[in-house]
Amino acid sequence: MTLIVLLLGLAVGVLVGLLGIGGGVVLVPALVYLLHMDQHLAQGTSLFILLPPVGLGALREYWKQNQVDLRAGILCALGMLVGGYFGGLIAVPLASRNLKGLFGCFLILAAFLLWRKPQPENRTTESTSNGSAHG
């Protein structure tokens, strides 16, 4: 059991670095299905994991590539701090089953958002030092 949890952490971490996300998107379903947690418990635990700076290792790699907009990042952190509190207030009284379903819908929406994005990779702000000739 302990080993599963440790490995799960590692797998989620790779996604954190690879995709620039907190990992909760993957972690919450993993906790629900692998460890049979209740939806609320999985989400709370996921938030707990995000408390220490788990993304710092990944951030360092992006920083070295000059792929970080510090000003925007700080603004985002502030907005998310405030919004997060209200989101938590909404989630806690919801029925676990509905929360789980909503989470699923959110994932589907997020997937479409990401898929249909155009390709502004070579805009002025973009460092093209790694010369990824995509497209």
Partner 1 sequence: MGDGPMRDAGIFGAACLCGIASGLFGIGGGTLLVPFLALFFAFGQHRAQGTSLIALIPPTGALAFYAYAKAGYISWHTGFLLIPGVFVGGMLGGWLAKRLQPRRLRQVFAGMMLMLGIWQAASAWAR
Tell which positions 68-87 bind partner 1, by CB under 8 A: 68-87
Tokens 């709370």 — which residue?
44
To partner 1, the closest distance from the beta carbon of 51 in angstroms equals: 6
- Is 123 a binding residue for partner 1 by CB under 8 A? The answer is yes
- Is 131 a binding residue for partner 1 by CB under 8 A? The answer is no
| CB crowding 82-106: b at 16 or more within 10 Å, else e | eeeeeeeeeeeeeeeeebbeebeee
CB count in 10 Å sphere of residue 46: 21
- Is 36 a binding residue for partner 1 by CB under 8 A? The answer is no
CB count in 10 Å sphere of residue 29: 17
Tell which positions 39-68 bind partner 1, by CB under 8 A: 39-63, 65, 67-68
To partner 1, the closest distance from the beta carbon of 3 in angstroms equals: 10
